Chains A and B, each alone.
Chain A
């Protein structure tokens, strides 16, 4: 009976320990998501130009990271998360391209008009209307210039500059070599300078 009680106590301690580890991991993951989610949303939105879809993609990426990679070291979460997100974005773009082809075939054209700039407009609190307008125009210019880049160049630029990943982290997120990241990034900056340079100087 005493042996049984001792076994039960050990079992409870193991269970408690596991529960504590899970809670700690959940808290760290919560902080990670809270830190990264807004930037991830903007990156996804710039890529696909649809806030609702971008929100769904970010949520999917968070769920997949939590489900499959929560046990990995915290330092790996950022590149892993963006790798999942970039894969989701590419899948979405591929599906959308097929959908648009079908729509064109049936004479309905692309659904670009579904993008609602008012719904996607940022909160204007704390900024003057002039300032807001200037920022809005500049941001639109940036989004247009980013949209004109190739997918890989856009990914490299946004991950490096907007998310602040280093070359190695960006390579993991993009699933390519560090050399490719440097090439894509350099070409992206060159293209952006050609497109935006005149307006931004």
Chain B
């Protein structure tokens, strides 16, 4: 048997298999066709249902996106701000400074200088040591 015969036999076998298969497909009973149809409708409802679900989520998605943008902007500003030092901390810093402690010790002297400046410099110092 030569190669051409082999090919012819294979072709005949394949053709017969196709023919039998097509007949079995065409001979499907009504109940089976009906079940296939129901399955198809169930599958198609996924397409319209999916699109509808997508459309329903558009407003909610918009609100969510706006909220996210707002949060990002807010956080961005927070990060750009120069860090604020609390006022109490600043006061404490001044009070604990060595010079400030000296100022507290000579508080009366500084009060006198302040008063003297206001009335024109005629007062004598309170703790005049000289």
Measured CB to CB, the residues of A under 8 A from B are: 15, 18-19, 22-23, 25-26, 29-30, 33-34, 37-39, 41-42, 51, 55, 58-59, 62-63, 65-67, 70, 121-125, 127, 135, 138-139, 142, 161-162, 189, 192-193, 196-197, 200-201
Contact = CB atoms under 8 A, between A and B. Distances in A.
Given A67-B50, A200-B13, A39 B43 contact: no
Q: Which of B13, B24, B36, B42 has the most CB of A within 10 A?
A: B24
A42 B24 contact: yes
Contact of A122 (B13, B27, B48, B51): B27
B100 interface: no
A138 B21 contact: no
Given A38-B25, A162-B21, A123 B47 contact: no
Contacts of B23: 122, 135, 139
Given A38-B25, A58-B39, A67 B13 contact: no
5 contacts: A41-B32, A63-B42, A123-B29, A162-B21, A193-B10
B25 A66 contact: no
Contacts of A135: 20, 23
B24 A66 contact: no
Nearest to A15: B55
Interface in B1-57: 9-10, 12-14, 16-18, 20-21, 23-25, 27-30, 32-33, 35-36, 38-40, 42-44, 46-48, 50-51, 55
Interface of B: 9-10, 12-14, 16-18, 20-21, 23-25, 27-30, 32-33, 35-36, 38-40, 42-44, 46-48, 50-51, 55
B28 to A, nearest CB: 6
A53 to B, nearest CB: 12
A138 B20 contact: yes
Do most interface residues of chain B lie in helix, strand or loop, or is the interface mixed? helix
A55 B38 CA distance: 10
A73 to B, nearest CB: 15
B43 A63 contact: yes
A125 B51 CA distance: 42
A123 B32 CA distance: 10
B28 A62 contact: no
Contact of B10 (A30, A42, A65, A189): A189
A121 B44 CA distance: 28
B23 to A, nearest CB: 6
Contacts of A34: 40
Given A41-B32, A161-B21, 5 more contacts: A42-B28, A63-B42, A66-B44, A122-B29, A135-B23
